[in-house]
Structure 1
Amino acid sequence: MPRRTASRALSESQRLTVRTVGAGAPLRWLARGWADLWRCPLPGLLHGLVLTAFGGALALLAHAQFWLLAGAFSGFLLVAPIAATGLYAVSRALERGERPLLATALRAWRPDDGRLVVFGVLLAFAGTGWVVTSASLVTGFAPETVQRPADFLRLVASDAGWLFEAWLALGAVLAAPVFASSVIAIPLLLDRRIGLLAAVLTSWRAVLENPVPLALWAVLLVGLTLVAMLPALLGLVLAAPWLAHASWHAYRDLVV
């Protein structure tokens, strides 16, 4: 049965044509996403405000406990693209020449479609796995116990040894398959009645066809998100909806 399911998902994925794009495509996606944000600003800015408030609440609750904070923000960053589903719907409506409303974004979360919810749960498990794995690495090799964010900065980030580099490398190794599985899958699940596994396989096909553009896209997503977080998370009010709209255009550029 699992082999039959995988074969069916592969066949379903192969019905979709994956396009090859140039290395500069991510900049085009950002430009289109920025235009979408200001063509219909209300859903995006509300999304950014809610996301920022949620992130602020996490920071207040876990500010003195490093691993709780790391776990909260890992889950926060992984599930954020799922939460942006409504903004993909707004970009789709704009693409069709429609006039989207706030209701357009809210309708994207149909109660009869659990695929995105299941995918969100899987991403949350992936975030938990990263936190547990990184905690094991740091706990096993740090010279002292790491309990607070200041401990991590003092004992790991500013240490002259290899631990911080190993921690970053481990994060990249674990994040790469999660990115490859989700970068196209989430807007694809909104746009088409396709199985979850087929959507993930299509996402992997897009990454394998376009390794350089999508590596640059991953760097831009992480970099812009981190920069947006620096001023007390306030930059997320604009950055979160901007990147969500841009992600829709990445999907439309990569999947015919």
Structure 2
Amino acid sequence: MRESPALVESRRFGTRSVPWLRPLGWLIAGWRDFMRCPVPGLLHGLLCALFGGTLFWVARNHFWLLSGAFSGFLIVAPIVATGLYAISRALERNGRASLADALAAWRPRDGRLIVFGLLLAFAGTGWVMTSAALITGFTSAPVRNPIEFLRVVVLADQGYLFEAWLALGGVLAAPVFASSVVAIPLLLDREIGVLGAVFTSWRVVMENPVPLALWAGLLLGLTLAGMATLMIGLVVVVPWLGHASWHAYRDLVDTSGLAERP
């Protein structure tokens, strides 16, 4: 049977195995990049915090929607950090970076990042709608605020709605994470198709299941911590994790067989 051209493209270069605690090193390297060029990172974080705060204010009496929207943020976060990958790339290549490098990453050139961003947006929207349908359709009382979500969904006396909500979220989040963990930095950095980048991301996950399970837990935990501080923590967490994700890509993918993007 003839193999997919994207799979063949992905196999033109190698992936690397890393120790299971290596994600802690990505956090250290990401923090270092953030401190070397803080302004673009702070702007990214501030925009995410303002968006989260605005969303919370608009839908503050509809927590059934907010719960899905905030968890859906984790799905689209990789594309949000595109400018941060560009900063880390510039620091690695030139020893210096500026806001112009981050802005240049958002200028569409060949459409690959746009396609991937749209796919993530569809996945995030799908989860928001699924989450809202579950919470509004199967709860015994309205869910308007976090306390009601805790009482009616998490601590419900009957049924397994919360467990179903978590399970469905995991079923969606796991393949999205596996498809995107290194795909967007790879698309930014090298000449490769979208499917080739996705297959590479899956290869990385299958070769490093334990380190990347730890990495997924760190991403989730730190993002939730940033949200729990009334979104203020996202000002720091978003750039920190964005830069760290670049170093995850550089550690996990051997791109010597691919042409660099200018």
Calculate the TM-score normalised by the size of structure 1.
0.92
Show the counterpart of 2:153.
156
Displacement after TM superposition at 1:203 (Å): 0.4
The answer on whether the counterparts of 1:65 and 1:149 sit within 8 Å (CA) in structure 2 is: no
Cα distance in structure 1, aligned partners of 2:142 and 2:29: 46
- Describe the SS at the equivalent of 1:96: helix
Deviation string 1:130-160 (CA, Å, 9 cap, x unpaired) is 2333334444542234455443222111224
Q: Which amino acid aligns with 1:247?
A: S
Show the counterpart of 2:234.
236
Q: Structure 2 vs 1, CA of residues 132 and 54 (structure 1 numbering), >3 Å: closer, same or farther?
A: closer
Cα distance in structure 1, aligned partners of 2:86 and 2:176: 23
Q: Which amino acid aligns with 1:250?
A: A
The answer on whether the counterparts of 1:26 and 1:216 sit within 8 Å (CA) in structure 2 is: yes
Cα distance in structure 2, aligned partners of 1:77 and 1:144: 27
Structure 1 residue corresponding to 2:180, chosen from 182, 198, 222: 182
1:28 and 2:25 are equivalent in the alignment: yes
Structural mapping, 1:106-255, within 5 Å: 106-161=103-158, 162-255=160-253
Show the counterpart of 1:60.
57
The answer on whether the counterparts of 1:71 and 1:128 sit within 8 Å (CA) in structure 2 is: no
Alignment coverage as a number of residue pairs: 253
Which ranges of structure 2 fall in alignment gaps of 5 or more residues? 255-262
State which drifts further: 159-168 or 21-30: 159-168
Which ranges of structure 1 fall in alignment gaps of 5 or more residues? none
Q: Structure 2 vs 1, CA of residues 56 and 71 (structure 1 numbering), >3 Å: closer, same or farther?
A: same
Cα distance in structure 1, aligned partners of 2:65 and 2:99: 34
Q: Which amino acid aligns with 1:230?
A: A
Cα distance in structure 1, aligned partners of 2:52 and 2:213: 26
The answer on whether the counterparts of 1:51 and 1:237 sit within 8 Å (CA) in structure 2 is: yes
Q: Which amino acid aligns with 2:241?
A: L
Cα distance in structure 2, aligned partners of 1:177 and 1:67: 24
Identity %: 67
Cα distance in structure 1, aligned partners of 2:244 and 2:75: 17
Displacement after TM superposition at 1:245 (Å): 0.2
Structure 2 residue corresponding to 1:39, chosen from 31, 36, 54: 36
Cα distance in structure 1, aligned partners of 2:77 and 2:173: 15
Cα distance in structure 1, aligned partners of 2:242 and 2:79: 10
Calculate the TM-score normalised by the size of structure 2.
0.90
Q: Which amino acid aligns with 1:54?
A: F
Q: Which amino acid aligns with 1:163?
A: L
1:7 and 2:9 are equivalent in the alignment: no
Cα distance in structure 2, aligned partners of 1:143 and 1:62: 20
State which drifts further: 131-140 or 173-182: 131-140
The answer on whether the counterparts of 1:75 and 1:124 sit within 8 Å (CA) in structure 2 is: no
Q: Which amino acid aligns with 1:176?
A: A
The answer on whether the counterparts of 1:55 and 1:76 sit within 8 Å (CA) in structure 2 is: no
1:83 and 2:80 are equivalent in the alignment: yes
Displacement after TM superposition at 1:46 (Å): 1.3
Cα distance in structure 2, aligned partners of 1:72 and 1:7: 35
State which drifts further: 207-216 or 139-148: 139-148
Cα distance in structure 1, aligned partners of 2:251 and 2:210: 15
1:99 and 2:93 are equivalent in the alignment: no
Cα distance in structure 2, aligned partners of 1:160 and 1:247: 40
Displacement after TM superposition at 1:41 (Å): 0.9
Q: Which amino acid aligns with 1:241?
A: P
Deviation string 1:95-141 (CA, Å, 9 cap, x unpaired) is 12431111011111222232212211111211222233333444454
